[in-house]
Amino acid sequence: MFWLSFKRILKTGFIDFWRNGVVSLSAIFVMVITLLILTGAIFSSVLLEHTLTSLEQKVDININLLPDAAEATIEKMREDLSTLPQIESVQLLSRDEVLQEFITDNSDEQITLDALELLQDNPFGASLKIKAVDLSQYEAINKFLEDNYEVGTVNSVIDSVNSTKKHEVIEKLSNIIDAGEKFGAIITIIFIILSILITLNTIRLAMYISRDEIRVMNLVGADHSYITGPFIVAGAIYGLVSSILVMILLYPITLYVGKDTAELFFGLDLFEYYLQNFGQILLVIVAAGIFIGSVSSFVAIKRYLKDR
Amino acid sequence: MGNFFGFILSMIYFDKVTKVYDDSTKALCDVTLKIEPKEFVSIVGHSGAGKTTLIKMLLAEEKPTEGKIFFESTNINALKKSEVNKLRRRIGTIFQDYRLLPNKTVYENIAFAMEAAGRTDEEIVADVPYVLELVDLADKELNFPTELSGGERQRVAIARAIVNQPDVIVADEPTGNLDPINTYEIVQILKKINDLGTTVILTTHNKGVIDELGKRVITLEGGRIVRDDPTGRYVL
């Protein structure tokens, strides 16, 4: 009996969806907008997340050592730093590598390079490049260096630590992004709730048109589940069709904005992202569409189901 | 004592039923009424006399403010939601405005009533064409209600009402929107249904219909029964 009813509910839902063409079209139109807003929210979150990660990766601490620092001291410092839990990686650059990096970085400045050639010896000391686990750890690493290697005193083997200012700027920027992400999330949630309410009202309007039909179904003794079922199926179909349309629309939209996002957000091309994550995006959008459609139908039909 | 055993002996029994709506309108006042199995009862009265309220309470669409309504020995007002549906499957309904499902074909409209009653696909395939033959609409099964005339729509409504072989047919002003020829045809179908053993309750304004039937007539006025003639004529 259950399967017979289930089969009939599915069939009726499909037929109703097809026969109520205008109502179905308007519901789909509204749901496409809802799902586009949802997709926009997902993409914004991805872009901000990517920006934050990219910024974090750009921050490191460069410990410039004195040219006469002993190799054993340098090695010990590297080992000490590697054991710190706040540190993700420590890279040692020899004096020659530092010189080479300087030459590459200043290849446009001939005067500087000429001046360098006048010097008989390599003026640079070795260098340690440190990457922290996250931005908030840089303060602790600086403190560790001050406490253990007497940074800024005559006894220190450290010539300079050139991270502080750079990471402060980036930390501020990341705070702004963080706040923006939270603010954006609130705005997005408001938009999503609003669009769900609009969808709900559109479907409620469709139910209003069918209210006499629902009353007749009640009068011939149909069970509530048998009356509600086809409407929920039709709602789910609205969601399914809308999500497929949204996935099709996303192709030209992301293609159009992809290059701009790559320039603005540290190389994240939305079109590439859309293509690479097509399956996941499809799954989320289809699930959201079916959920919003069927729940809206269920909520909308409730008020027309009273027996007396 | 007669009232006490009334519901046991009759098919439908209204026991001192009063209905007052939320806006203080008194639709029915102390109505006691007994309908026996296989009876054909016509209920007449002016607009606002309480005919439709009476029907709505029988279908458990409205609850009485006072009194009880029995269908056989069951108190309709004490029924749970699921039981209300079962009761409605035992009562076939026909309305003045037909109340067909507009997005379903003639066949689907009738099949829906059978599906709602949990009948199998085989039963539906066997019974729907049969009732369509009975109301002379076999060639219209694929049409939608909007493609039919008023008389044809009402015949579809009758087919839907009888397809589950209910114990009672309730027809609320079924000829109100029909011309005399279609009215005659509908009344003949209702008489035939009654002859086959189904109780029929008919509300109407149509004097010609009542006089032609020559069956029991209950007259309502201001929510009260003012006349109950076993083989009555239309007197208002």
Q: What is the pLDDT of residues A127-179, one digit of tens each?
A: 888 887 776 777 778 788 878 877 766 667 888 877 655 666 767 777 777 78
Which DSSP letter does residue B68 get? Answer: E
Would the CB atoms of B117 and A221 count as touching at under 8 Å? yes
Nearest CA in chain B to A2: B118
Output the CA angle A191-A192-A198, nearest 5 degrees.
Answer: 90
Q: What is the pLDDT of residues A19-35, one digit of tens each?
A: 988 889 988 998 999 89
> How far apart are alpha carbons A270 and A126 in whole angstroms?
41
pTM: 0.73
Residues sharing a CB contact under 8 Å with residue A105, sequence separation 6 or more, in sequence order:
none
- The H or E element containing residue B84 is helix B81-89
Collect all residues of chain B within an 8 Å Cβ-Cβ radius of residue A11: none
- In a shared domain, residues A74 and A131: yes
Torsion of CA A74, A77, A79, A80, to 10 degrees: 170
- In a shared domain, residues A95 and A239: no
- In a shared domain, residues A37 and A182: yes
- In a shared domain, residues A88 and A104: yes
Residue B223 pLDDT? 92
Q: Note whether residue A308 is domain-resident.
A: no
- What CATH number does the domain containing A78 carry? 3.30.70.3040
This complex has an ipTM of: 0.78
Residue A163 pLDDT? 64
Q: Which domain covers residue A146, as residue numbers?
A: 60-162
Residue B219 pLDDT? 92
Which of B103, B112, B120 is closest, CB to CB, to A20?
B103
Nearest CA in chain B to A307: B61
Which of A4, A19, A222 is closest, CB to CB, to B116?
A222
Which of B62, B112, B116 is closest, CB to CB, to A308?
B62
- In a shared domain, residues A154 and A182: no
CA distance A41 to chain B (A): 38
- In a shared domain, residues A14 and A102: no
Q: Note whether residue B193 is domain-resident.
A: yes
Number of domains present in the structure of chain A: 2
pLDDT at B202 over 90: yes
Cβ–Cβ < 8 Å for B163, B116: no
- In a shared domain, residues A158 and A218: no
Cβ–Cβ < 8 Å for B191, B214: no
CA distances from A283 to A58, A127, A185, A291 (A): 33, 48, 21, 12
- What CATH number does the domain containing B106 carry? 3.40.50.300
Q: Which domain covers residue B134, as residue numbers?
A: 36-65+91-229
pLDDT at B2 over 50: no
Residues A238-248, mean pLDDT to the nearest whole number: 96
pLDDT at A308 over 90: no
Q: What is the pLDDT of residues B60-69, one digit of tens each?
A: 989 999 999 9
CA distance A236 to chain B (A): 19
Residues B198-203, mean pLDDT to the nearest whole number: 94
Looking at every residue in chain A, the average pLDDT score rounds to: 85
B10-24, B108-122, B155-169, B222-236: the lowest-pLDDT one? B222-236
Q: Note whether residue B25 is domain-resident.
A: no
Q: What is the pLDDT of residues A101-124, one digit of tens each?
A: 888 888 888 888 888 888 878 888
Residue A106 pLDDT? 86
Phi-psi label, residue A108: left if phi above 0, alpha if psi -120 to 50, beta otherwise: alpha
Which residue in the block uniquely carries the two structure tokens 């490049």? A129
> How far apart are alpha carbons A244 and A237 in whole angstroms?
11
CA distances from B70 to A230, B21, B41, B127, B217 (A): 33, 21, 17, 30, 20
